[in-house]
Chains A and B, each alone.
Chain A
Amino acid sequence: MVALSPDLRPGRLQGDRSHRARRLGLFLALLLAVVAVVSLGWGASGTSLARAVSDLLAGRELAVQDRVVLMDIRLPRVLMGIFVGASLAVSGAVMQGLFRNPLADPGIVGVSSGASLGAILAIVLGSTLPAGIAAFFGWYLVPVAAFAGGWLTTMALYRIATRRGRTSVATMLLAGIALGAIMAALSGLVILRANDRELRDLTFWGLGSLAGANWPKLLAGAPIMALALLYAPWLARGLNALALGEAAAGHVGIRVQKVKNRAILTVAAATGAAVAVSGGIGFVGIVVPHLLRLASGPDHRWLLVNSALLGAVTLLLADMVSRTVIAPAELPIGIVTAVMGGPFFLWILLRNRGGLDL
């Protein structure tokens, strides 16, 4: 090879990109703060954040409706959007790193199919449960069932793919497809028992929504998502090494099996909790990490943090559209993420076709 031009020296290139990723992270953090505040002041009703704040500063009591809209509807919803968006995007990034496959998403570890089955069971059979159990869970029944379904499926898949302490990523992928088919079939069986109202509930659950956000749900789901999100950056070094292949990662001193275990647990917790509180919201887990890889490279040290930030921003923006575009009714957010995200993603892909071989 001829002498490399200064800009293309590996060290320099690496440095440039990590610098860029750091600046991007700062920008995304600021953007998230701005979007969160705008989102609090944004909604179908006439409640204004500025007016409420000035009222509070002047020591005046808020009107009941303004208080309910701000404190019981918008605030839990914005926080839920941040946690769910960040969880979905980080789960996507971790899965893509673990499977070394740009098409991997949390669905592959069975979380989504298991969670759907749990939710469907709760929606359809919930009314046949003994009254004591039903009353104990209240409206937590669907989220709890979804979380349990996702968790159990992931653990089953993990057991299937692990032999003599070693987890085969390929087996997990294939078994995930088989388990997914079984879950879909069981869901179909349960759906046959559903009446038309329950069918409508299922449809809306599948499209996803943050409309059900309230404090109890947030307090149930957010701690799990927060733990998974806080832990994720510790996976970065392992995932970076795994990009070289499992054997090479082992040679550079990474305990591959440990990284795999923890990555799967993290994804199961983050996605399970997110799906449980907000239903099926697609697309964020695939699009967000890809955009960031195109913008600032595949280094997981920044990719995971930036995915969390951009995932939260994306979901908040989508939710703002979802709750105002056909106000006073609401568009399910899964439709918004797909309709806005799909064409945008295609456009990015077409512009960057050359640099896409991840």
Chain B
Amino acid sequence: MKRLALALVLLAGQAAAEDQPEAQRVLSLGGSVTEIVYALGEEARLIGRDTTSNWPPEANALPDVGYVRALSPEGVLSVAPDLIIAEDGAGPPEAVAVLQSAGVAFVSVAERYDAEGVLDKVDAVAEALGVPDKGRALHDKLAAELQAALGRAQAVGEPKKVLFVLSLQGGRVMAGGADTAADGIIRLAGAQNAMPGVQGYKPVTDEAVIAAAPDVILMMRRGDEQADADANGGSSHTAAKQAVLAMPALAQTPAGRAGAVVMMDGLKLLGFGPRTGEAAVELHDLIYAGS
């Protein structure tokens, strides 16, 4: 139902966007979309963002219209956008319908967790902004970075198994399974997901964690830990890492025994935006640091 509504919204939005390529007040919804607008050098046209858009740091100065899936139509209209570029799934659909009836062009950008997905996003955002030349330049630059990452990934003889841990709430491991951004970036980094049998982000039992036998545990670094790490010259020997290794199930795994816990900034790691090539290389180096 939602997908159908969104497809209609998408068609209508694109038609409207083509009518006015010179949109000067752009609202960007979705962390990776905002990153792409900045990477295209079109940030002067941005007049607002959603809660998930917090990179580059300058983006935080823009008015925040709320969570991308729970938009308030009047709040969005109050920043007076003439073009909204949104990641797939922005809504609710009622809100999007009202925005369109107010005459705001709405472009929805598809999300896929692979190298092609990143490049398609760049093309879609550049087209919506009416800057095809800048779009091509960014496309080529990112394609080269992603190609480099793929090159490294393919050079790996025996891919390591990586377990992505979204959270450890209540002592339960919330793992990243198939069809997630975590799965996508692990592949791009030339490793394999230790939980391929799970769909989406799911809590898994301690026994499943031990049976998966990951070589590396991958987690997102929170903001304060990021600052810590920067202060220590990028070292991720933080309290969070100690906490991970203190969990009996995780400590039992090859990753736990070797202390192989990798932490990266969440938006960079999972955003599938302009920093994905860089993130894949960084992750690759962290995973295969010892070998």
Q: A139-B1, A139-B94, A328-B79 are in contact. Are A73 and B73 (CB under 8 A)?
A: yes
How many pairs of residues, A versus B, come closer than 8 Å at their CB atoms?
Answer: 113
Is A55 in contact with chain B by the CB < 8 A criterion? no
Q: What is the size category of the interface that chain B forms with chain A? A: 35 or more
The docked-state distance in angstroms from the alpha carbon of A330 to that of B68 is 11
Is A204 in contact with chain B by the CB < 8 A criterion? yes
Q: Tell me, rounded to whole Å, the shortest Cβ–Cβ distance linking A190 to chain B.
A: 14
Contact partner, A211, options B77, B80, B95, Cβ 8 Å: B95
Q: A65-B102, A135-B1, A197-B89 are in contact. Are A44 and B72 (CB under 8 A)?
A: yes
The docked-state distance in angstroms from the alpha carbon of A134 to that of B77 is 29
Is A358 in contact with chain B by the CB < 8 A criterion? no
Tell me which residues across on chain B come within 8 A of A74, comparing CB atoms: 74
Contact partner, B200, options A72, A196, A200, A217, Cβ 8 Å: A196
Q: Mark B1-23, 1 if CB is under 8 A from A, else 0.
A: 11111000000000000000000
Q: Are B98 and A323 in contact (CB under 8 A)?
A: no
The docked-state distance in angstroms from the alpha carbon of A331 to that of B51 is 13
Q: Are A204 and B67 in contact (CB under 8 A)?
A: yes
Q: What is the size category of the interface that chain A forms with chain B? A: 35 or more
A12-20, A124-132, A259-267, A336-344: which lies at the interface: A124-132
Q: Are B78 and A45 in contact (CB under 8 A)?
A: yes
Is A214 in contact with chain B by the CB < 8 A criterion? yes
The docked-state distance in angstroms from the alpha carbon of A1 to that of B115 is 90
Q: Are B4 and A192 in contact (CB under 8 A)?
A: no
Q: Are B72 and A211 in contact (CB under 8 A)?
A: yes
**Interface positions of A from 161 to 217, Cβ below 8 Å from B:** 192, 194-197, 200-201, 204, 209, 211-212, 214, 217
Q: Are B72 and A139 in contact (CB under 8 A)?
A: no
Q: Mark B230-244, 1 if CB is under 8 A from A, else 0.
A: 000000000000000
The docked-state distance in angstroms from the alpha carbon of A217 to that of B103 is 22
Contact partner, B103, options A64, A127, A327, Cβ 8 Å: A64
Is A43 in contact with chain B by the CB < 8 A criterion? yes
Chain A interface residues toward B at CB < 8 A: 43-46, 64-65, 68-69, 72-74, 126-127, 129, 131, 134-135, 137-139, 141, 192, 194-197, 200-201, 204, 209, 211-212, 214, 217, 323, 326-330, 332
Other 5 A-B pairs with CB < 8 A, given A45-B74, A73-B73, A196-B201: A43-B74, A64-B103, A139-B94, A323-B74, A328-B64
Task: Give 17 A-B contacts (CB < 8 Å), ordered by A residue.
Answer: A44-B78, A45-B78, A72-B101, A73-B74, A73-B77, A129-B1, A138-B5, A139-B1, A139-B92, A196-B201, A200-B67, A201-B69, A212-B92, A214-B94, A323-B72, A328-B76, A329-B67
